[in-house]
Amino acid sequence: MPVIAIASPKGGAGKSTTAVILGTQLAHYGAEVTLLDCGPQPRAGGAAGEHGEDAR
Ligand SMILES: Nc1ncnc2c1ncn2[C@@H]1O[C@H](COP(=O)(O)OP(=O)(O)O)[C@@H](O)[C@H]1O
Ligand SMILES: [Mg+2]
């Protein structure tokens, strides 16, 4: 199972955005994708359509 990490200590660098776009494209081409956004202001879940406290 390949693991791709997008990491930087700088906030607002585009980590979540890049992860969401990369994950959705990999899924589009048939990959099974699990997306974890562990940043202090995670927003990948919201971008992927989840809401509330679980939108991480
Ligand atoms: N390639 C890009 N070009 C322009 N704006 C971008 C790009 N990638 C991200 N952004 C914008 O920058 C802001 C921060 O992105 P985000 O992915 O939340 O950063 P991080 O997860 O590193 O804190 C968001 O408003 C996002 O829309
Ligand atoms: Mg982020």
- Taking the centre of ligand 2 as the mean of its atom positions, its distance from the CA of residue 43, in whole angstroms, is 6
pLDDT digits (tens, 9 = 90+) for 3-53: 999 999 999 999 999 999 999 999 999 999 999 998 777 666 666 666 555
The confidence score (pLDDT) of residue 31 equals 96
Pair 20, 51: CB distance under 8 Å? no
Q: Please state, in angstroms and rounded to a whole number, the distance separating the CA atoms of residues 56 and 29.
A: 23
Tell me which of 8, 10, 16, 17 to substitute to probe ligand 1's pocket, judged by most ligand atoms within 8 Å of the beta carbon.
17
**pLDDT band, very low/low/confident/very high, at 56 (cuts 50, 70, 90):** very low
Q: Please state, in angstroms and rounded to a whole number, the distance separating the CA atoms of residues 16 and 20.
A: 6
Instruction: Supply φ then ψ for residue 5, to 5 degrees.
Output: -110, 130
**pLDDT band, very low/low/confident/very high, at 55 (cuts 50, 70, 90):** very low
